[in-house]
Structure 1
Amino acid sequence: LVALDGTWRWAMILGVWGVALFGVFAKLFLPGIAKGFWVVIYLLLGWAGIVVIKPLLAGLDSTVLWLIAAGGAFYTVG
């Protein structure tokens, strides 16, 4: 988030925290939701950074971007 300007930074913070809070409330109050739904939610959270890839390309070194991409791949594979 350090590499993003104010608008993108706040959009990412609010978006990720919004999905996370939705997940918390859904786990507490809707316990019967299928596991596939949760896989999608976790992948959305894990890959949320792809939304801001263009600003990140301008603000980060290519090595850092490759490390972020590798982390996303490992996160997805499990």
Structure 2
Amino acid sequence: MNESNLTISRIIKSDELSKEVDAAEAAKFIGVTVSTLAAWRCTKKQNIPFYKIGSKVRYKISDLVAWKEEQRVC
């Protein structure tokens, strides 16, 4: 199991799916840079739901997990 899968398993087991994270944590979680994630938000290239409160951007862990699962090829 790679590091990303271990992280997902730990989060699911610890009931943190409803937790919200900032863009830096979200980018690390899905394996992209913060600037890539920002570009996806602006261009809507990837449909990852997010919240924007003032200048802060937040992502729900459950949305990130769902997005990663949608990217699965096999």
- The alignment's TM-score, normalised by the length of structure 2, stands at 0.30
More helix by share: 1
More strand by share: 2
- The alignment's TM-score, normalised by the length of structure 1, stands at 0.29
Which one scores higher on RCO, CA 8 angstroms, separation ≥ 6? 1
Determine which structure has more spread, i.e. the larger CA radius of gyration. 1
